[in-house]
Amino acid sequence: MNALIEVILPVFLVIGFGYVAVWRNLFSDSGVDGLMKFTQNFAIPCLLFRAISMLDLGQNFDIAMLFSFYSGATAGFLAGLLGGRYIFGRDWEDSVVIGFCCLFSNSLLLGLPITERAYGTEALEANYAIVAIHSPFCYMLGIAAMEIARAQGGGVLATGGRIIRSVFKNALVIGITLGLIVNISGVALPGTLTDAIGLMVRAALPAALFGLGGVLYRYRPEGDMRTILFVCCVSLILHPSIVWLMGSAFHLPQNAFRSAVLTSSMAPGVNAYVFANMYGRAKRVAASAVLMSTAGSVITVWLWLMVLG
């Protein structure tokens, strides 16, 4: 119960403040859009840039941990893809979106603050290693699957070009890439610049959580309830269970094991809806799954924290 009160509820209360503020017309829809654009395109890329630029790549890029996490993510994607197609009878394009919802856990807005509150700042290094390739991996997989499902022609090279362009236009990927360049090159950034980046970083997670609450207010669970519940079960139960099994098999160090399992247990992020909206497919499923799984994760994340100890 202490984990629920001390670790999880403060994070979800900030989300709740954003939800209530929009619900009671204390904060406008346009304000939410502006806040999310600021956090997703500027503040969070700055956070990722700073974290990756300072990360000990040799020590924290644990191949076994990353394989454990992304095996679970890929399994979730395949479960959503095949479940959408063969259980719920959706076409392949809708099924790709359903798979993406099961793939993209909210590693940033939920994973980072909950891990930090549960295990301390020093535990976040493994999280940042996961986050460093999370957006590139997930978008590459989702876009590749969608382009294949759409079969728009133009050959393999044209399809590959569309995939790469889509991935590297993402602000999060740009922040990660620049951080890797600084890290590998060993360039020393001016103190004034690092101080400015630090100011942006401090605003990133609280503003993003508040904005997420406002975004979730727009999403009403309506129709497709069996499909939405399926996405919730895959995201909150199947994905972390596979990571747990893989991490146990590889005997991961405690911090890496906790970060991998806890991050994989997070609800789908708003990026799941962004992906659905980008292609205009299964938007209702994506939006409602984000809302319902975020609400449900209050309980499931608490249970995973109890299991992890």
The answer to whether 70 and 231 are in contact (CB under 8 A) is: no
**Does pLDDT of 195 surpass 90?**
yes
Q: Angle CA(237)–CA(44)–CA(140) in degrees, nearest 5?
A: 60
Query: Which residues are CB-contacts of 306 (< 8 A; sequence separation ≥ 6)?
Result: 3
Q: What is the pLDDT of residue 7?
A: 64
Q: What is the pLDDT of residue 4?
A: 61
**Does pLDDT of 193 surpass 70?**
yes
Q: Residue by residue, what is the 3-state secondary structure of 242-301?
A: HHHHHHHHCCCCHHHHHHHHHHHCCCECHHHHHHHHHHCCCHHHHHHHHHHHHHHHHHHH
The whole-number average pLDDT for the span 165-191 is: 83
Q: What is the pLDDT of residue 275?
A: 83
Look-up of token digits 């922040």: 175
* Stated pTM of the model: 0.80
The answer to whether 126 and 226 are in contact (CB under 8 A) is: no
Q: What is the pLDDT of residue 44?
A: 83
The CA–CA distances, whole Å, from 58 to 51, 53, 55, 63, 175 equal 14, 13, 9, 10, 20
The whole-number average pLDDT for the span 167-188 is: 84
Q: What is the pLDDT of residue 11?
A: 78
The whole-number average pLDDT for the span 216-229 is: 80
